[in-house]
Chain A
Amino acid sequence: MNGEENPINNIWPIGGGKGGSGKTFLTGSLGLLLARKGLRTLVIDADLGAANLHTVIGVAHPGRTLSDFVNRKVENLGDAVMKTPVPNLYFISGAGDNLDVANLVHSQKMRLLRAISKLPYEHILLDLGAGTSFNTIDFFLISNTGIFITTPEPTSIENVYRLIRSVYLRKIRQVLREEAFRELLQEAVMRSNGTSAKNPEDMLRILKACNPVQGELLEESLRAFRFKLVLNQLRKQDNHQIGTLICRICEKHLGLRVHFLGNILHDDRVHDAVCRKVSFLDKYPYTQTATDLREFCHRFLAEREDNPPAGPPIERTGETIRITANG
């Protein structure tokens, strides 16, 4: 879109449906590993209203925060960036005394998303909040390379599916114009005999049936996603195949490409490291979990080389793309 100020950066939103699945821990660890590889990395705590990434990466008292930017105390988001004890690792805190920041107005959110996509870093990791609120999902859709994280527990898997479907639905909404979306909803309700359409993939099917051109375009934009999945807190007795199977389900039933980036073993010492406010990777570098994290970072970088992020990273909501047959 507007590429003039847009440096080449990679934005990686990290989201998962359920609290406690390790989004913040993973963001912190991945940021640390990338920075150690000499890549200029920025981690942003986008868990508005419940920020705590600063604790994981060893910044005790965040100075400037995202809410300063939202409330226009700082005009430039770059001024809210803080250094961390780790070279090459930079940080924008989401903490702050302003409790209202969790409820961003749409225009504020758009301003924030645009500003993030213009920041000059090689990797930008976004630590998102749990749940499927519009805020979370819009942050997740800032790039098409989001990372989903889940634990092998049914509660967590249920929520991650919920998140994936919400992202899917939000994308349909972004691509279609307002009235086209409403028409589609009505059509979907009609076809399913009065009950509301339960799944976004059914909506795509209905759209393809009534308007093949739009359906095709929508399917294409859904295919453009390069999502990733990490299975966190895997116990030894768990089925190690779950991650691969989840990716297959998404591919087969949602038509979404999700690339599995590996399992990360559960380790009680993570809890210990977080309690002591030290980096787990530094305190316990020779554990299986630390090895898994490094392996994850390795695959993450290798995968990016195979699929370089295509096109502009930001896809703005609210802006409607006209995709009717005659343009």
Chain B
Amino acid sequence: MKPFEEQNYYEMLDLQTSASSFDVRHAYKTALQIYGEDSPASYSFFSQDDRAGILANLERAFLTLINDQSRMEYDRSLITAGLMEESEQYRRVPKKPIPIFDLEETGNITRMVFPHTEKTLCPPVEHPVVREIMSKDSLTGQDLRRIRIELDITLEQIVEITKIRRGLLSAIEEDRHEDLPSMFHLKSFVRAYADCLRLDPGEVAARYLKQAP
């Protein structure tokens, strides 16, 4: 534990060296809440002189760090004293617009990708099971599911890519006709589904709709 007077300005204000000017302002406000003359939190903790000393130090720290020019100079003095890494030095970063929506989905959203196994790498029609099913004249939901499982693709992965509700996809797979949408929508859903399995969408949709009501 370093005595307060010996701490550097960042330590005094409990700041990271990477703090923005907004952080500095906020930290100074919090510090005043703690050390201010009328602060109930530190009542009687410091003597009159100690408090005055701390407040003077804090003010100096704030005024140094809030100004870009003086902050850079101060950082340089810390670096020469060996108290700070060169890489940590404050650089003025121009403000950028803050994105409201993460359009590129680069945030914490982890995109599911198809597993690249042997089964998925070769074209699906080369699988004997798939070929057998695709040779049929009409395709039921059961058939589609068998192909999907054969290709090692989970329903969640299809949901992720097509953005079609999971319930709808399983209704298609389970041939629950009462839960299916209108023919128009059903057709495009099946096409999207087939596309995920790398089958010919038009072909699959046509054959599926043959048996659907």
A245–B43 touching, CB < 8 Å: no
Distance, CA A178 to CA B84, complexed state (A): 42
B81 interfacial by beta-carbon distance below 8 Å: no
Contacts of A241 in B (CB 8 A): 33, 41
Interface residues of chain B: helix, strand, loop or mixed (majority)? loop
Distance, CA A97 to CA B104, complexed state (A): 77
Interface residues in B1-51 (C-beta closer than 8 Å to A) = 1, 3-4, 14, 33-34, 39-45, 47
Distance, CA A248 to CA B39, complexed state (A): 14
Distance, CA A255 to CA B41, complexed state (A): 17
A246–B1 touching, CB < 8 Å: no
**What is the size, in residues, of chain B's interface with A at 8 Å between Cβ atoms?**
14
Contacts of A22 in B (CB 8 A): none
Distance, CA A219 to CA B1, complexed state (A): 9
- Of B4, B33, B39, the residue contacting A253 (CB under 8 A) is B4
Q: How large is the interface on A (under 10, 10 to 19, 20 to 34, 35 or more residues)?
A: 20 to 34
- Of A153, A154, A245, the residue contacting B34 (CB under 8 A) is A245
- Of B14, B45, B47, the residue contacting A161 (CB under 8 A) is B45
B41–A242 touching, CB < 8 Å: yes
**With known contacts A161-B45, A242-B41, A255–B1 Cβ distance under 8 A:** yes
A158–B43 touching, CB < 8 Å: yes
Distance, CA A248 to CA B43, complexed state (A): 14
**With known contacts A219-B1, A245-B33, A253-B4, A198–B43 Cβ distance under 8 A:** no
B34–A248 touching, CB < 8 Å: yes
Q: What is B's interface to A at a CB cutoff of 8 Å?
A: 1, 3-4, 14, 33-34, 39-45, 47
Q: What is A's interface to B at a CB cutoff of 8 Å?
A: 152-154, 157-158, 161-162, 198, 205, 219, 239, 241-242, 245-246, 248-249, 252-255
**A-B pairs with lowest CB-CB distance, top 5:** A245-B41, A255-B1, A158-B44, A154-B43, A242-B41
